[in-house]
Amino acid sequence: MVTELAEPFEMSLPAVSKHLRVLEGAGLVARAVDGRIHRCSLIAEPLHEAELWLDGYRSFWEDSLGALAEYVERAKKRSKR
């Protein structure tokens, strides 16, 4: 329920509902309404698709950031001389 989702956050219920509407629009959350009770459920499949897409870039960024870190360390050592 939305009230249970909102409990750990310092946000109003309307603010939580607004965030949930964004997630619904993105296809990540489904909401079932039964009177005044709104039940939300996660739709995880799009997250899996995003993970697969990100995995294609993971090694590139790890290698690039590793090379940048090595460059910065070498530059620090040169500047100390």
Q: What pLDDT digit, counting tens, does each position of 26-69 carry?
A: 999 998 989 988 889 999 999 998 899 999 899 899 999 999 99
Could you tell me if 22 and 37 lie in one domain? yes
The SS3 call for residue 4 is helix
Distances in Å between the Cα of 60 and the Cα atoms of 9, 25, 55, 64, 74 are 35, 31, 9, 6, 21
pLDDT score for 44: 93
Could you tell me if 49 and 30 lie in one domain? no
Could you tell me if 6 and 38 lie in one domain? yes
Could you tell me if 76 and 58 lie in one domain? yes
Question: What's the domain range around 28?
Answer: 2-42
Whether the CB-CB separation of 2 and 20 falls below 8 Å is answered with yes
Could you tell me if 34 and 60 lie in one domain? no
Indicate the pTM of the whole model. 0.60
Could you tell me if 33 and 49 lie in one domain? no
Tokens of 17: 């509902």
pLDDT score for 25: 95
The SS3 call for residue 77 is helix
